[in-house]
Amino acid sequence: MEHKFIYTQKLSQTLQLSQTMKNSLDILKMSKQDLLEYIKALAERNPVIEYTPSADMHQLLQETVSMKKTLKDDLYMQLHTCRSAFDETICSYLIESLDENGFLTASVHEYAQLLQTQETVIQKSLQLLQSFEPCGVAAESCRDSIRVQLLRKGKHAAEKIFTQYAKEIIHKDYKAIAAACHLSLEQVYDCLKEIQECQPYPCSSYGAECPPPALPDFEIQAQDGEIEIIPKQLGHFQIEDELLVMKEEMKELREYFDEAYYFIDHLHKRNRTLLMMVNELVHIQRNHFLYMDELQPCTLMDIAKKTGFHESTVSRTLSNKYYVFQNEIYAVKDLFVSATKEGSSKDSILKAIQKLVDTEDKRCPYRDQDLVVMLEELDLYVSRRGIAKYRSILHIPGSKERKQK
């Protein structure tokens, strides 16, 4: 299998820069969106850099979008103002991994494997995030979010009924619940009211925001048994040579040239490092791209060993990076899957998905991530994208299409 890369020739220059400048240009961890915003600001303030965006990037640079505070902004604010001790690396990773509904995108076990730490460490960080507002954030699913909200409010009886007597609630067998929990019917009705007052999607108000578009760093094309990785070019950078003759006479101009060379050099390093890691990651998941097979177990440590970089460098490089595949944009982190039990048959998964969808609350249907978690409880292991594939086979639409008012 051939993996093709498009590299721009490296511009080498030995530079002596202040630590402040080095810290301000942590290009490696920048997303494409952050990088474009930085480039725009750099080109405006630095007279020796001339930047011409590529066709893909031109439209974005022309747009000025007024952004409201996002869920992640609020969570980071609460994180850095809380009085409890916390692991910033783990908490930041958990926050960045939340989906558009503020739910976790992996299990505690998977987070522990991806971050190479103990599950108890993940649990501790998770408990802190779940103490933040909105109440119910950082839960595993809408169902788990309701559980978290009930516990936060001290409604332990309602939480017990909600988590242990779902079948009785569905069949309205309230007398059985009262007998099992040693409660009166009136107390059971009060608990049910408390459950109804919870928000299955407590972060939905943030969903109305217009987030910046996820800009891909590269495209993956799979055809005839071959995979090609095509970088999405930022555009063309040019140093104003006319000012070069004045460089030695003007200190300020020398600093502008140093900044320009430094940026271009580190931009190339970012691109090479990113593509090197992506090449290994795509190689591991090649059957997924070629034949739509399930993703293979792969962790940050696996890529670190293959590329020679530290695991933290792999995490920083691939965080907030996206790719295009079959005209859809995906997060690179979705290609990481922790090792799980194998042997889940296709037939068993199809039957389980069909049964879960048939019995779901149509006013709050299960998302694909909810189905992933529920299948794991049945010892059936499948990725979120795998769920979408199986839904297609069963002719089951997505959760939004299944929702009934």
Q: Which amino acid is at 152?
A: R
pLDDT at 5 over 50: no
CA 13 to the chain's CA centroid:
35
Instruction: State the Cα angle at 291 between 290 and 296, rounded to 5°.
Output: 90
Q: What is the DSSP letter of 153?
A: T
> Residue 141, Cβ neighbours under 10 Å: how many?
20
* End-to-end CA gap in the chain: 50
Share in percent of the chain as helix, strand, coil (round to 5): 55, 10, 35
Instruction: State the Cα angle at 144 between 127 and 84, rounded to 5°.
Output: 10
Query: What percentage of the chain carries pLDDT values higher than 90?
Result: 38
Lowest mean pLDDT among 28-32, 290-294, 337-341, 383-387: 337-341
Q: At 229, is the secondary structure helix, strand, or coil?
A: strand
Handedness of CA 83, 88, 93, 96 (dihedral sign): positive
pLDDT at 181 over 70: yes
Cα gap 195→189, rounded to integer Å: 10
277 within 8 A of 318, measured Cβ to Cβ: yes
310, β-bridge pairs: none
> Residue 279, Cβ neighbours under 10 Å: how many?
18
Cα gap 65→88, rounded to integer Å: 30
pLDDT for residue 171: 86
The residue among 152 and 234 whose pLDDT is bigger is: 152
Cα gap 92→80, rounded to integer Å: 11
**Element housing 179 (H / E):** helix 174-181
CA 158 to the chain's CA centroid:
32
Domain positions in the chain are 20-63+214-335, 67-211, 346-402
197 within 8 A of 20, measured Cβ to Cβ: no
237, β-bridge pairs: 51
pLDDT for residue 224: 87
Chain mean pLDDT for the chain: 82
Tell me the pLDDT tens digit for each residue of 38-61.
888 888 888 888 888 776 666 545
User: Could you tell me which CATH number the domain at 346-402 has?
Assistant: 1.10.10.60
Cα gap 335→298, rounded to integer Å: 8
Tell me the pLDDT tens digit for each residue of 283-318.
999 998 998 877 788 889 999 999 999 988 898 899
Instruction: Read off the pTM.
Output: 0.48
Tell me the pLDDT tens digit for each residue of 223-266.
888 999 999 888 887 777 666 656 666 667 778 888 888 888 88
Give me the numbers of helices (H) and strands (E) for the chain, helices first please: 20, 6
Evaluate the omega torsion of the peptide bond into residue 216 and state whether it is cis, within 30 degrees of 0. no
